[in-house]
Amino acid sequence: MGTEAADRWMEVALEEARQAAREGEVPVGAVLVHDGELLARDHNRSIQESDPTAHAEILVLRRAGELLSNYRLTGTDLYVTLEPCAMCAGALVWARVERLFYAAPDLKAGAVSSRARLLRPGLFNHSPEVVPGVREAEARQLLQDFFSRLRTNRRGGKSASSRRAGSAVAGRRSENVRAG
C-alpha cells in the first residue's frame, strides 16, 4: 500500500472525525477498505447511541461484516485517526484485519503502541501489520482543538454533551419511574 493511497484513505477517516466533532463526539473516524474499494466509513457515536462500544473502528467492522455476511474481514485495511483502544484492537484480531493504519497515538488508552502492545506479532493467533503516523499532525490537531473547546465550554458551565447526557439520563429516570 503506497503512501498516496494511505493519505487518501486517511483523509476520508479525517472527514469522519470532523463530522464526529460537529456532532459533539470525540473526533475519531475510521474507514475499512478491501482491494482499494471502500467497504465502510464511520465515526465515534458512543454519546449519541449511549453505547460505550460505538467506537469508529467497531462501527466500520460491524457494517463491513454485514455487507460481506462474514465476521472475518481478511484482506482488509483499516484507517483510523486515533490509535485503537484495547476493545478495538481485540476486534481487529478477531476480524482478521490485514493492516491497520492510524494517525495519532493515544497516550492515555492506546493499545497498539502507547499503553499496551496488543497487536504485536505472536501475542494472539492473528496480528495485523501496523502503520502508525499517517497524517498524524492533522489528527492530533483535530483532537486538541476539540478538547480545548470542551474545556472552555466547561469553564462556563457544563459541556453540551454533558447537558445532553444529563437530560437523557433524567428523561430515562422519569420514564422508569412512570413505567414502574
- In the block, cell 465515534 appears at 44
Q: Is 1 exposed, middle or buried (0-12, 13-18, 19+ CB in 10 A)?
A: middle
Catalytic residue (choose from 16, 25, 57, 83): 57
Residue 127 and residue 112 in contact, taking contact as beta carbons nearer than 8 Å: no
Map residue 7 onto helix, strand or coil.
Answer: helix
Asked about 57 being catalytic, the answer comes back as yes
d(CA 4, CA 177): 56
For 117, list phi and psi in degrees, rounded to 5: -125, 65
Q: Tell me, what DSSP letter sits at residue 131?
A: E
127: CB partners within 8 A, 6+ apart: 93, 119, 120, 121
Residue 27 and residue 18 in contact, taking contact as beta carbons nearer than 8 Å: yes
The amino acid present at 47, given as its one-letter code, is: I
Active site residues: 57
